[in-house]
Chains A and B, each alone.
Chain A
């Protein structure tokens, strides 16, 4: 049972436009969410996180939105740059003693110059 789902395997956007990456989850115990970016043959790089007590968190060009009632979060990248081309993983944690990260399968973002 996949508890974190990234239903679109890929996304292609024009440089300068907005990239919106979506993520859905099924476990209502998740209370901490993270986005990671990954290049081939490298480990994931932490991008941004959000706690369930918030509905938005912003860091530079990256904004994460959380809709708890819909069990949905999204990552907005504005403006998109060619260097943003990578695989993006959504991850979630129940927190407390059960702090393991459950990852989605990732979405490949391609930003066209």
Chain B
């Protein structure tokens, strides 16, 4: 059974640009969550999607957005990139909410 797949693995962007990250969950998993990991803040929740609906949102500015498609694949978008957005972005999928979440390998975003 394939795991959670995130693309791309690495990305370098310039301040002010926008970026789209992709996540394919484990087959059969309908919940997809996104997290940001930075050395100072640890793992912080961005948002969660279930059946194409955003169910929960963390404390991030509106520049961070996401969506989920009918096949449960999800994308997150960050507009007007700032240097502080440099981080490892992790996607996790689970069958439904409140079950074990399985993480992808992440996308390392560097903003220069």
Residues of A within 8 A of B (CB): 32, 34, 36, 41-46, 49, 89, 91, 93, 95-106
Contact = CB atoms under 8 A, between A and B. Distances in A.
Contact of A43 (B42, B90, B100): B90
- For the complex of A and B, the 3 pairs showing the least CB-CB separation, nearest first, are A99-B97, A43-B103, A103-B43
Contacts of B92: 43, 101
Interface residues of B, number: 26
A98 to B, nearest CB: 6
Contacts of B98: 32, 93, 95-96, 99
Nearest to A99: B97
Interface string B24-48: 0000000101010000001111001
Contacts of B45: 100-102
Interface of B: 4, 6, 31, 33, 35, 42-45, 48, 55-56, 58, 88, 90, 92, 97-98, 100-106, 108
* Secondary structure call for the B interface: strand
Contacts of B33: 100-101
A99 B42 contact: no
A100 B45 CA distance: 7
A54 B101 CA distance: 20
Contacts of B55: 97, 99
A6 to B, nearest CB: 9
Contacts of B6: 43
Contacts of A95: 97-98
Contacts of A98: 56
Contacts of A43: 4, 6, 90, 92, 103-106
